[in-house]
Amino acid sequence: MEKFLRKLYKKFSNFDRDYYLRDVKTWLGVRELKLNKKILKEFYENYQKVSFLEFLGDVKDIIYFKNVFDFIPKNAVDDWDLWYYLRFLEKEKIIKVKKNGKVSVLKKEILNAIPKPQTEKEIKRKIEKKLKIRLKEKEPVINVFKKFQDFVVKAKWDQMPISTGSAIFLVKKILEELSLNKKFLFIGDDDFVSVILTLADPNIECTVIDIDEQLLGCIDILASKFNLKIETKKVDIRKEKFLGEKFIGFLCNPVYTEKGVKEFVKYGKNQLGKDGGVVFLEVGGGDIGNRFLFLQDFFTKENLIIEEVIANKIYYPWILLHKEDKVISKRLFSMIDKKVVTKNPKIGATLYIFEYLPFKISRVKFKKSIYSYL
């Protein structure tokens, strides 16, 4: 199926380019420029061309959305982009577009190759059924698996578990964005997101790397017990730069320092291939502050395009991990009841989702007005 999808991508690249070059000359601000075909081709190759995995992500949206017009707000595009995909996929007999805006998939095999999105309720229900427990979304995620293994957080590696609800949300977003059933990488996973992900969709393959052998052993126990496609490997990313294989995306939750974010993200990007990939980064801004401007510059240099920034969904329940945690807890206890403090978030994090563009782009130079849609 992957070979078929690659051929499909090549066909779409030609179809999309040819239609775009024909249509763009008639658009607002462009028709007056009267640009030659060479300039328009340069423009398309640098700014409009999509990678293989981005193409599959768009196909995924088309085949799984109940209403194809949801494609427009989800991807922040317009109806021209939607039409190109609908026309091409119908022409290739992949889908049939109905008059009510729904799509039926004619080539069913494609559904096995592209992971299906799931709601948080669906994910929660599956985990509860498989583990035979009731999930408490505000509790630390490590509590979900405590009857199966004995993982203990370690302050020296700044391990701090997110809430169970946060982990479920992360899995929902990964399932939304993964565009092919190929290996996904976790750079550290003391939140056991790899386990929740593969419990929710057993077809997904993951590799988890971490410096903590005990954590990896706990994940191995869970993978064996529930027959999950998770491979673990002890790695210190400061010393080992390449894993010897390529992935379609990765999740990292690094130490919340400028250097920590850069090291984890750069390491993960180096494990992605020529097809592109999707990058999930969890990071809190409290300690980084205005230095996030430097991180924005870093993301650009690494060819990472911000697709989505999500706040208010990931947080860490209260915990005493570091010495300084006792100081701030004592201050809060003097103002607010201890039971209230310990039942509420300790740290909040933002989820950044990037598209890794696997080719460099250049600025196409020509004169135009602010109203030229080119």
pLDDT level of residue 289 (50, 70, 90 thresholds): confident
List pLDDT tens digits, range 116-164.
999 999 999 999 999 999 999 999 998 999 888 888 877 777 778 899 9
- Stated pTM of the model: 0.92
Per DSSP bridges, beta strands 184-187 and 206-210 are parallel
Domain ranges of the chain: 2-113, 120-356
Residue 199 tokens read as: 């419990």
Per DSSP bridges, beta strands 277-283 and 304-317 are unpaired
pLDDT level of residue 43 (50, 70, 90 thresholds): confident
Helix (H/G/I), strand (E/B), else coil: 291: helix
- Nearby residues of 313 by Cβ (< 8 Å), 6 or more positions away: 166, 169, 351
* CATH architecture designation of domain 120-356: 3-Layer(aba) Sandwich (3.40)
Burial 60-86 (b: 16+ CB within 10 A, else e): bbbbbbeebeebeeeeeeeeebbebbb
The predicted model gives 68-86 an average pLDDT of 92
* pLDDT at res. 221: 95
